[in-house]
Amino acid sequence: MTIVQKQDEQNVASLTKSEIGSLKVLRIGDLVEGTILEKGSRMITIDLGPHGTGVVYRGEIQNARDVVRNLNIGDAINGKVMDMDNDEGFIELSLSQADKQKSWELVQDLKEQEEILKVKTTACNKGGLVADLFGLSAFLPVSQIVNGFEGKDEINNKDEITRILEGLVGQEIPVRIIDVNPRTNKLIVSEKAAKEVSMKELVQNYTVGQEIDGVVSGIADFGVFVRFTDNPAVEGLIHISELGYKIVENPKELVHVDDAVRAKIVEIKEGRISLSLKALKTDPWTRVHSIYKEKQDVRGRVHSFHPFGAIIDLDGEIQGQVHVASFGSVEEMKKKLQQGEQYEFVIETLNPEERKILLKLK
């Protein structure tokens, strides 16, 4: 028996029902940390704890050779989830993209905090300046540059613009990040914004517990950005966990850009406002005992598959779980269940306090 097989058996055996209920659900694109089990030139296997076993294949090893070179068995390593369940039953990871995603997460945090950064420009084009920011290519448009353009409301001479831009290459310029989009590799910075009123001052007009009206201004894997109706300069974030009481795989299941929403402010910290849609809804788990009982037959629709089992939609925002152990393996589970289809189940365990209903296929 290989190290990987032994490790997988230990992972499954060590899972308790409470751990299954509280286990963070991995999704494609997530960053995950693990420990190196085996290292070879064609494949690296990584222990991801209760999530299972991750693998890094040869092509990705070559892409991240500078990182891989110094890795040893037992070392902790971060990877980006590329495939939740590949043909060999492993979680496929990328090491090079993990470093890049960390950079994107960092610049997103810095944007939300409205931090002023100094960037060294490396090149210019007809539209502005290019700079390196944590290994990412940042763009500073002409319209967002102050240095060299002060007192010049409009410059129509392209040669003059080029001359000014060329003179700024190699200089350090204070900027704020104004636009971040990892999907399109878009990172826009602004010297003008670095001189504007800080968001930390703007959020002083709001308090935790206050309800606000807003418009969805952006959607990311981790949540939804909302621009306040009463002050469009203020933007808050609804984390994916605060969109509702059920597990949401993709925020686009619930909202779209330009949707009008009403949300509650649940946290204000360092100039960032955290919002919640869930806080304005009645908790469905308070009525679970009046609807469901242990050993009761129920009908549910398969919402999603995960290494620990399947999530089943029962009633509105109430979901149950079917553990993979009742099928023997993920492969067998997917043979008997299809995503989006309805099946008959029996409630094995009902625990509203832990927001958990454990089901078994009839």
- Both 37 and 93 in one domain: the answer is yes
In the chain, the number of structural domains is 4
Domain boundary among 50, 68, 100: 100
Same domain for 130 and 178? yes
Residue 108 lies in a domain: no
pLDDT at 119 (0 to 100): 93
Does 83 lie in the same domain as 7?
Answer: yes
Look at residue 73 and tell me if it is in a domain.
yes
163, 195, 227 — which closes off a domain? 195
Residues 130 and 88 in one domain: no
One domain for residues 265 and 320: no
Residue 215 and residue 241 in one domain: yes
Supply the CATH number for residue 346's domain.
Answer: 2.40.50.140
Q: Answer whether residue 68 is part of any domain.
A: yes
C-beta of residue 32 within 8 angstroms of C-beta of residue 77: no
Per-residue buried b or exposed e for 136-172, using 16+ beta carbons within 10 Å of the residue's own CB: bebbbbbebbeebbeeeeeeeeeeebeebbeebeeee
**61 and 148 assigned to the same domain:** no
Structural domain for 53, as ranges? 3-100
Of 353, 321, 352, 318, the C-alpha closest to 337 is 321
Of 39, 72, 69, nearest to 56 (Cα)? 39
Per the domain annotation, does 206 fall within a domain? Answer: yes
Position 19 in a domain? yes
Q: What is the predicted pLDDT for the residue at 153?
A: 44
User: Is position 61 within any domain?
Assistant: yes
Give me the tens of pLDDT residue by residue for the chain, a chain 362 residues long: 454 444 555 554 454 444 444 456 788 888 888 999 999 888 999 999 888 899 998 888 887 777 788 888 999 888 888 888 888 888 998 887 777 788 888 999 999 888 889 999 999 998 999 999 988 899 999 989 987 776 444 556 788 888 889 999 999 998 999 999 988 889 999 998 887 665 677 888 999 999 999 999 888 888 999 999 999 878 899 999 999 888 888 898 889 999 999 999 999 987 789 999 999 988 888 888 888 898 989 998 898 888 888 888 888 778 888 998 888 888 888 888 988 888 999 999 998 888 889 999 88
Residue type, 44: I
Considering only CA atoms, which of 293, 291, 298, 305 is closest in space to residue 344?
298
Q: 270 and 340 share a domain?
A: no
Four-point Cα dihedral 200, 201, 203, 208, nearest 10: 90
Residue 110 within any structural domain of the chain: no
Instruction: Give the pTM.
Output: 0.45
Please tell me whether residues 89 and 124 are part of one structural domain: no
Residue ending a domain, choose from 255, 280, 305: 280
Does the residue 269 lie in any domain?
yes
